[in-house]
Amino acid sequence: MNIVDKIVLQGEKEDEGKRIDVFLAAELDYTRSYIKKLIVDGLVFVNGKTVKPSYKVKENDEVVVNIPEVEKIDVLPENIPLDILYEDDDIIVINKPQGMVVHPAPGNYSGTLVNALLYHCKNLSGINGILRPGIVHRLDKDTSGVMVIAKNDKAHISLSNQIKERSVFKKYVAIVEGVIKDEEGKIEAPIGRHPVDRKKMAVIEDGRYALTLYKVLERFKENTLIEAVIKTGRTHQIRVHMAYIGHPVVGDPIYGFKKQKFKLEGQALHSRVLGFMHPTKGVYMEFEAPLPEYFKKLIEILRNK
């Protein structure tokens, strides 16, 4: 069997006692039935050993998921322009545009950030397999902003550990629906797969711990510009949390209002600042991605309403 991708995860305190198939279905973009098949086929390892779908996850478990080839996969380098904020032998920091998918997936093997990176970089870390080379963390397709990519395995491990330890600084800006009255706030609510719609995330009782801090930057007639710092990195975290408190991100096709007032390509969410310890230099580095044009235009429209 040809393995085309390897995904490494770690059990956290809030995952204690969850079935391994439930845990993985919540973490990955695969159905629970597909995850179950991978486990039964011996392609999922916990601490180096195969397990049954009923295995209960423990804190600090190392979970390795091997994804088998289901069709001929050809991830090719593509000459796609990159907005590079910083680059050295270990890392490359880029400003990802809205609309770009981070890594290939079944049925979508071109036009992604990985295709562009393969063209630009001679080396990328191989820890996450051929579909996700160098990818340490992700941004949603329609979320723009700063990302760091690992060029070698040592850098990848260092950055992954910092993310697990929650020492990576991530600051976003977003335009949300409604006028937020408080100057700042904290959203501490667990996030997991939606119990009915498995493609969505939701605040659920047995979800994984998630913490978002937000601050109002500017108020408009019917909207608010906020700054959000995430202390955890859950899938769609800001989008889910802001919708949870009744202020979904403008333009969000999944968690936002059904009727959108502005013709946007996706949610008005931008990863503005990313800070971390350099994997080999051992110094703290922080990078900022300027607001994209669509975002600045929307702010001007709201100011003039």
**120 and 268 co-located in one domain:** yes
pLDDT, mean over the chain: 91
Residue 29 annotated in active site: no
**114 and 248 co-located in one domain:** yes
Exactly one of 140, 153, 206, 252 is catalytic; name it. 140
Asked if the model's pLDDT at residue 6 lies above 60, the reply is: yes
Whole-Å CA distances, 247 to 32, 98, 147, 218, 252 = 30, 21, 25, 14, 11
Q: Quick one: pLDDT at residue 13?
A: 87
Asked if the model's pLDDT at residue 74 lies above 80, the reply is: no
**16 and 132 co-located in one domain:** no
Determine, yes or no, domain membership for 76.
Answer: no
Per-residue pLDDT, averaged over 270-279, amounts to 98
**161 and 258 co-located in one domain:** yes
pLDDT digits (tens, 9 = 90+) for 203-253: 999 889 999 999 999 999 999 999 999 999 899 999 999 999 999 999 999
- Among candidate residues 44, 68, 92, the one where a domain is terminated: 68
State both tokens at 172: 């976003």
**184 and 270 co-located in one domain:** yes
Whether 19 and 54 have beta carbons less than 8 Å apart is answered as yes
Q: Quick one: pLDDT at residue 300?
A: 96
Q: Quick one: pLDDT at residue 106?
A: 63
**26 and 114 co-located in one domain:** no
**175 and 256 co-located in one domain:** yes
Looking up residue 37, the CATH number of its domain turns out to be: 3.10.290.10
Q: Quote the pTM value.
A: 0.81
Nearest alpha-carbon partner for 117 in 151, 140, 141: 151
**53 and 88 co-located in one domain:** no
Which one is predicted more confidently, 132 or 65? Answer: 65
Q: Quick one: pLDDT at residue 30?
A: 73
Position 16, amino acid: E
**145 and 94 co-located in one domain:** yes
Determine, yes or no, domain membership for 114.
Answer: yes
Determine, yes or no, domain membership for 78.
Answer: no
Q: Quick one: pLDDT at residue 29?
A: 67
- Domain containing residue 112: 84-304
Q: How many whole angstroms separate alpha carbon 203 and alpha carbon 117?
A: 34
**135 and 238 co-located in one domain:** yes
**115 and 139 co-located in one domain:** yes
State both tokens at 3: 């393995």
pLDDT digits (tens, 9 = 90+) for 154-206: 999 999 899 988 999 999 999 999 999 999 999 999 998 888 887 799 999 98
Q: How many domains does the chain have?
A: 2
Q: What is the CA angle 82-152-123, rounded to 5?
A: 50
